[in-house]
Chains A and B, each alone.
Chain A
Amino acid sequence: MIEVDLGHRYRDGFGLEIAFQADVRCLALFGDSGAGKTSVLAAIAGLLRPRRGRIVLDGRVLLDSAAGICLPAAERGIGYVFQDGRLFPHLDVRGNLLYGARARRRQPDDFDAIVELLALAPLLSRRPDGLSGGERQRVAIGRALLSGPGILLLDEPMTGLHRDAADQLRQYLVQLKQALAVAMVLVSHHAGEVAMLADQVVLIADGRMTGQLEPDTFRFRHGLTASIA
């Protein structure tokens, strides 16, 4: 269960005023580039401190500006997969994967399972600069999962990938959703992948929420069939 209520204004005048709550396995934030979707994720993760807001994840208050609560990002227990991967260039894949587990002093009992799920075994001793874009994003997803997050935030993880690599990564996400219990928030401007993964869709345009749809309604509006994987 996630509750989000945010108000923010950037120096360039762009305003963000968004409130929604959802209790689903995969929530998608759908909208055009520049609509403010990434800002919502950054605020949930604690990388953006909004002027006003309240964010509650599974009953835990991460942010409540009225009460003066703003947990640092390191203490929010959230997994964040960035658009650009952001793997640590000085660590090999194994070091990247285990970074969060070490930082949170967590026993990574699920290491083998996640490595298998994302097909990372052949990459473990490689450095990030030797990986393809799709491989990098799989490592980034594995790294976020192995930190033991309460929720996984995915910020347009397919952006910048070749079509085939993007399709492949979508399949991995579908498998991940089936295999793991972790809740996800997916930011996307790609209707197909939202239809494929989301259990609920929040529509965002120009810093405002313009609707909250069930997946069937979303598919219907975008002329998509309900074929999943």
Chain B
Amino acid sequence: MSEWLSPADWQALRLSLRVAGVSVLVSLPFALALAWTLSRKRVPGRLLVEAALFLPLTLPPVVTGYALLAALGRQGWLGAWLAELGIVVAFRWTGAVIAAAVMGFPLLVLSIRVAFDGIDRRLEDAAETLGAGPWRRFLTIVLPLSASGIIAGCVLAFARAFGEFGATISFVSNIPGETRTLPIAIYELMQSPGGEDDVLRLAWVAFAVAIAATLTAGLLGGSIWHRRRHD
């Protein structure tokens, strides 16, 4: 395998896996909080919030990448302030994480929210009468009963992040070892003459990762109890 893939290929694969994994881990707490709020709370301007949430899905990714650059680039209104604190994300792998997280976020929130909406609220009432406060109810009733939905959301967001191209290349460009993820590497090989074999190799790698992610989700989701309706 190590001879089949060049060091540069490995570098791109490892970077892609890291960027996608970290992006899901970083965005998961925010996604849980937002999904919970949308599912259970009265939100003023709910339609606007939902429209904003879905922007990364509806906008051309290159526009999202441009917006990220405008905001978080060194000259950006937020980026300039962060740079003074010594935090730079533009043209860094952390920037690729942000791009991937932003693009996967709507999918993550949507899956988790559907899972939360599907929970029988009366079970939470029962837990409350048994002395469980809000956090205990969330940890012992809501999370276990929505686990398969949360895992599905994570896999979906991971897959979306793994394949991220447009926003990433416009926000953090194509720097080997730093921001050249697998899709960007494939794109670059497609531009170079005689790169077809390399493209095909990396495409197979992407295919294998996609299948592995789906199988993992199936295995994890299957081992966790699926909620059945009361008869």
Query: Which residues of A are at the interface with B, using a C-beta cutoff of 8 A?
Result: 45-47, 72-80, 82, 84-86, 88-90, 99-100, 103-104, 129, 143-144, 147
| Contact call B129/A73, Cβ cutoff below 8 A | yes
Q: How far is the CA of A211 from the CA of B168 in the complex (A)?
A: 73
Closest to A143 in B: B130
Q: List 18 A-B contacts (CB under 8 A).
A: A45-B129, A47-B128, A73-B125, A73-B128, A74-B129, A74-B130, A76-B129, A86-B125, A88-B126, A88-B141, A89-B225, A89-B228, A90-B144, A99-B130, A100-B132, A103-B131, A104-B131, A129-B228
What are the residues of chain A within 8 A of B127 when measuring CB–CB? 88, 99, 103
What are the residues of chain B within 8 A of A72 when measuring CB–CB? 128, 133
Interface centre among B123, B129, B141 (most CB of A within 10 A): B129
Q: How far is the CA of A89 from the CA of B131 in the complex (A)?
A: 18
Restricting to B172-211, which residues have a CB under 8 Å from any CB of A? none
Number of interface residues of B (CB under 8 A): 21
The verdict on A78 contacting B129 (CB below 8 Å), with A99-B140, A103-B136 known, is yes
CB distance from B50 to the nearest CB of A (A): 26
| Contact call B227/A90, Cβ cutoff below 8 A | yes
Which one, A47, A84, A85, A147, contacts B131 given CB within 8 A? A147
Q: How far is the CA of A195 from the CA of B126 in the complex (A)?
A: 28
CB distance from B227 to the nearest CB of A (A): 6
Which one, B122, B129, B140, contacts A84 given CB within 8 A? B122
CB distance from B162 to the nearest CB of A (A): 30
| Contact call B132/A84, Cβ cutoff below 8 A | no
What are the residues of chain B within 8 A of A82 when measuring CB–CB? 122, 126
| Contact call B145/A47, Cβ cutoff below 8 A | no
What are the residues of chain B within 8 A of A46 when measuring CB–CB? 128-129
What are the residues of chain A within 8 A of B140 when measuring CB–CB? 99
The verdict on A80 contacting B225 (CB below 8 Å), with A103-B131, A103-B136 known, is no
What are the residues of chain A within 8 A of B144 when measuring CB–CB? 90
What are the residues of chain A within 8 A of B131 when measuring CB–CB? 74-75, 77, 100, 103-104, 147
What are the residues of chain A within 8 A of B129 when measuring CB–CB? 45-47, 73-74, 76, 78-80, 144
| Contact call A86/B126, Cβ cutoff below 8 A | yes
| Contact call B123/A88, Cβ cutoff below 8 A | yes
| Contact call B230/A99, Cβ cutoff below 8 A | no
What are the residues of chain B within 8 A of A104 when measuring CB–CB? 130-131
Closest to B130 in A: A100
Q: How far is the CA of A99 from the CA of B122 in the complex (A)?
A: 15
| Contact call A86/B228, Cβ cutoff below 8 A | no
CB distance from A140 to the nearest CB of B (A): 8
Q: How far is the CA of A11 from the CA of B128 in the complex (A)?
A: 24
| Contact call A74/B132, Cβ cutoff below 8 A | yes
CB distance from A184 to the nearest CB of B (A): 15
What are the residues of chain A within 8 A of B145 when measuring CB–CB? 89-90
Which one, B122, B133, B136, B227, contacts A86 given CB within 8 A? B122
Restricting to B104-144, which residues have a CB under 8 Å from any CB of A? 120, 122-123, 125-133, 136, 140-141, 144
Q: How far is the CA of A77 from the CA of B120 in the complex (A)?
A: 23
Q: How far is the CA of A83 from the CA of B4 in the complex (A)?
A: 64
CB distance from A82 to the nearest CB of B (A): 6
Closest to A89 in B: B227
| Contact call B141/A103, Cβ cutoff below 8 A | no
Q: Kindly list 5 other residue pairs between chains A and B, CB separation below 8 angstroms, not including A74-B129, A89-B123, A103-B133.
A: A73-B129, A80-B129, A85-B230, A86-B126, A90-B225
Closest to B225 in A: A90
Would you list the 7 A-B pairs with minimal beta carbon distance, nearest first? A100-B130, A104-B131, A103-B131, A86-B126, A80-B129, A103-B132, A73-B128
Q: How far is the CA of A99 from the CA of B124 in the complex (A)?
A: 12
What are the residues of chain B within 8 A of A147 when measuring CB–CB? 130-131
What are the residues of chain A within 8 A of B227 when measuring CB–CB? 89-90
Q: How far is the CA of A86 from the CA of B126 in the complex (A)?
A: 7
CB distance from B119 to the nearest CB of A (A): 10
Q: How far is the CA of A192 from the CA of B123 in the complex (A)?
A: 30
CB distance from B150 to the nearest CB of A (A): 14
